[in-house]
Amino acid sequence: MKLLIVGGIAGGASCAARARRLSEQAEIILFDRGPFVSFANCGLPYYVGNVIKEEKNLLVATPELFKERFNIQVRTESDVLSIDRANKKIQVKDLKSGSIYWESYDALVLSPGAAPIRPPLPGIDLPGIFALRTIPDSRRILQWISEKKAKDAVIIGGGFIGLEMAENLVRCCIHTSVLEMQPQVLPPFDREMVFGLHEHLKSRGVTLYLGDALTGFEADADGKITVLSKSGLKLRTDIVILSIGVKPEITLAKNCGLETGERGGIRVNDQMRASDPKIWAVGDAVEKRDFLTSEWTTIPLAGPANRQGRVAADSIFGRDSKFRGVQGTAVCKVFDQVAAMTGASEKALRRLGKTYEKVYLHPGHHAGYYPDAKPIHLKLLFSPQDGRVLGAQAIGEEGVEKRIDVIAMAIQMKATVYDLEEAELCYAPQFGAAKDPVNIAGMIAANALRGDAPLAQWDGIDLKKDFFLDVRNKEEYKKSHVGGALNIPLNHLRSEMNRLPRDRAIYVYCGVGQRAYYATRVLLENGFDARNISGGIQTFDGQISG
């Protein structure tokens, strides 16, 4: 068996190492057009920000290590130019010598990744406009910053990489602006969830231009660049970072007639086999099935690329491993905040016409009685039919990704909100609570599905016409409240119930939903039609005010 692998980073390197573990006899050759294999591209923004101080720390494995430990041949600076499927061979250009040669295969794995999108706009090729994908890219960015003594940066795109770069450029004392076409940063999230992040970014000196699209660049006489936008913005800057997404690298696959899909990726089956029985493809270059919706999708993340590399190796060596699909589990640090999500967002469910229910909650990341509990703003999406968990998003300073990881696993196990209620999770005061935020999310959702505590949503009620009951104390009410809400603090509810209408729904709210839950139970037990507005005033602030 002679196995050739094109692309030696996340998917390719993990495939090579797994292949060796499955066969000592196979000849394995890994090609990459770049000067490195197996480097941590996820660490690049932090290398630019000098958090990762040495370039060598980005190298997870070297060609020497591949040779010595795994007996895998690595050929860097080797560009694979074409695939001859009929004769099972690939054409390779050695970029050091310029020579071109053919290499035959019994099995071929493509893991060529994805290329940053560079829209064909005026001025796109001006010096000083960068994308970040490789170690040489980060070197060029650092060199430009140092040579130009850069003071201003504009990042195009407020996605994961854009925000990580914003944090790291601010760390380099560069005033940073982010221009984002959507009315929010982190577009995969639902908008109300990231409202707080907008404020947080601004508090750290990042200027946000949301809901505005890039139209081009102009070179200024003094060496600066002017970024132009649809709304007429003209942002003068020293450096531009393009982070508006990536598109699958499918040139090789397309040129040799492999099937590609409508999302622009290589089509593969659940064993990562492409439309040719001797070729497998993995990572950012392929289209995968969404685990929940079964739609074809491209989600460029390192975890799926690594797991797919393993599945491809298993398949090549006769094992029947299957890739389960992607669910978009992702996390991003934005200065002191962490944003994480898994599964479907509300906007995706809406777009697909799926029925769903949602809850919002804002618990502390650990027990309130232990110092420094930080709130986690959590949203859980689930099916109203059977309670199956569909997605979750969370923002906060601490413990965010831990909760999303638990829910990610629940989604993969097709668990329900009833399972989240029952999950036995770690608890000591420093780490969580006897009722962990994941349990509480499950309990709120399950209480709603059982009819014990019906929920309402701020975006589903009429703020002008409906009847609102605010059960917070007088001081909280005085600071801010919703429209004409009646204030009866929870502790007075039983004695002042006669002030409430019996002929219409009562929408109950408090700060985060807990007191309103108690109030809703009291009112239901007393024959009122009461509903708890999920997430209380905290959710109102993001969903309606934001």
Ligand X SMILES: Cc1cc2nc3c(=O)[nH]c(=O)nc-3n(C[C@H](O)[C@H](O)[C@H](O)COP(=O)(O)OP(=O)(O)OC[C@H]3O[C@@H](n4cnc5c(N)ncnc54)[C@H](O)[C@@H]3O)c2cc1C
The residues carrying an active-site annotation are 42
Q: Using the rule CB under 6 A, which residue among 22, 124, 302, 522 binds ligand X?
A: 302
Using CB under 6 A, which of 192, 249, 287, 421 touches ligand X? 249
9 contacts ligand X (rule: CB under 6 A) = yes
- Least distance from ligand X to the Cβ atom of residue 80, Å: 4
Considering the rule CB under 6 A, would residue 381 count as an interface residue with ligand X? no
If binding is defined by CB under 6 A, does position 127 make contact with ligand X?
no
Kindly tell me the sign of the dihedral angle through the C-alpha atoms of 172, 334, 58, 95.
negative
The Cα–Cα gap between 145 and 514 comes to 50
> Binding residue for ligand X (CB under 6 A) from 161, 239, 313, 348?
161
Q: Does 11 bind ligand X (CB under 6 A)?
A: yes
If binding is defined by CB under 6 A, does position 95 make contact with ligand X? no
DSSP state of 202: H
How far apart CA 384 and CA 475 sit, in angstroms, is 36
Task: Name the one range near ligand X by CB under 6 A: 42-50, 320-328, 335-343, 522-530.
Answer: 42-50
- Per-residue b or e along 180-217, where b marks 16 or more CB atoms closer than 10 Å to that residue's CB: bbbebbbbbbbbbbbbbbbebbeeeebebbeebbbbeb
| # binding residues, ligand X (CB under 6 A) | 32
| Residue 112 touching ligand X (CB under 6 A) | yes
**Region binding ligand X by CB under 6 A among candidate stretches 28-36, 120-128, 230-238, 426-434:** 28-36
Piece of 38-46, 53-61, 194-202, 258-266 that binds ligand X (CB under 6 A): 38-46
**Do residues 378 and 403 lie in contact, with contact meaning Cβ atoms separated by under 8 Å?**
yes
DSSP at 364: B
SS (H, E, C) 335-362: CCEEEEEEECCHHHHHHCCCCCEEEEEC
CB of 61 to ligand X, least distance (A): 13
> Which of residues 312 and 438 has its CB atom nearest to ligand X in the complex?
312
31 binds ligand X (CB under 6 A): yes
Among 4, 5, 6, 339, binds ligand X (CB under 6 A): 6
CB of 271 to ligand X, least distance (A): 17
Among 63, 300, 437, 535, binds ligand X (CB under 6 A): 300
**Does residue 111 belong to the site contacting ligand X (CB under 6 A)?**
yes
Give least dist CB 539 to ligand X, A.
Answer: 28
Which of 3, 29, 107, 132 contacts ligand X by CB under 6 A?
132
Between CA 205 and CA 211, with CA 207 as vertex, the angle to 5 degrees is: 150
DSSP letter at 385?
T
Please state whether beta strands 296-297 and 330-334 pair in parallel, antiparallel, or not at all (unpaired). Answer: unpaired
User: Residue 305, interface with ligand X (CB under 6 A)?
Assistant: yes
Count of other CB atoms within 10 angstroms of residue 178: 25
- The distance of closest approach from Cβ of residue 251 to ligand X in the complex, given in angstroms and rounded to an integer, is 7
- Smallest gap from Cβ 159 to ligand X, in A, equals 10
At which residue do the structure tokens 């893991």 appear? Answer: 111
Residue 41 lies near ligand X (rule: CB under 6 A)? yes
**Cα–Cα distances in angstroms (integers) from residue 499 to residues 190, 417, 487, in the given order:** 37, 35, 10
DSSP 8-state code for residue 260: B
CB of 141 to ligand X, least distance (A): 11
Tokens representing 4 are 């050739």
Sheet with 2-6: strands ordered across: 73-75, 27-31, 2-6, 107-110, 279-281
Q: Which of 3, 4, 5, 7 binds ligand X (CB under 6 A)?
A: 7
| Binding of ligand X by 42 (CB under 6 A) | yes
Cβ count within 10 A of residue 513 = 27
CB 338 within 8 A of CB 397: yes
Query: Minimum distance between the CB of residue 274 and ligand X, rounded to whole angstroms?
Result: 14
Residue 533 phi, psi dihedral angles, 5° rounding: -80, 115
Quote the CA–CA distance of 393 and 176 in Å, as a whole number: 26
User: Quick check: 241 binds ligand X (CB under 6 A)?
Assistant: no
Map residue 67 onto helix, strand or coil: helix
Asked if residue 248 binds ligand X (CB under 6 A), the reply is no
Q: Is 307 in the site for ligand X (CB under 6 A)?
A: no
Q: Which residues between 277 and 296 bind ligand X (CB under 6 A)?
A: 283-285
Indicate the residue whose CB is closest to ligand X. 283
Residue 108 binds to ligand X (criterion: CB under 6 A):
no
SS3 state at 489: coil
CB nearer to ligand X: give 302 or 461: 302
CA of 531: how far to CAs of 128, 134, 448, 519, 536, in Å? 55, 52, 9, 9, 12
Cα-based distances in Å from 436 to 325, 362, 428: 28, 12, 10
- Per CB under 6 A, does 303 bind ligand X? yes
Please answer whether residues 444 and 359 qualify as being in contact, where contact means their C-beta atoms are separated by less than 8 angstroms.
Answer: yes
Q: Is 10 a binder of ligand X (CB under 6 A)? A: yes
Q: Select 44 or 493, whichever has its Cβ closest to ligand X.
A: 44
Q: What is the per-residue binding string for ligand X in 68-87, x denoting contact by CB under 6 A?
A: -----------xx-------
Q: Considering only residues 5, 44, 471, 512, which one is a binding residue for ligand X as defined by CB under 6 A?
A: 44
Shorter beta-carbon distance to ligand X: residue 20 or 133: 133
Dihedral angle, C-alpha 324, 327, 332, 336, nearest 10 °: -120
* Site residues for ligand X per CB under 6 A: 6-7, 9-12, 31-34, 41-42, 44-45, 79-80, 111-113, 132-133, 161, 249, 252, 283-285, 300-303, 305
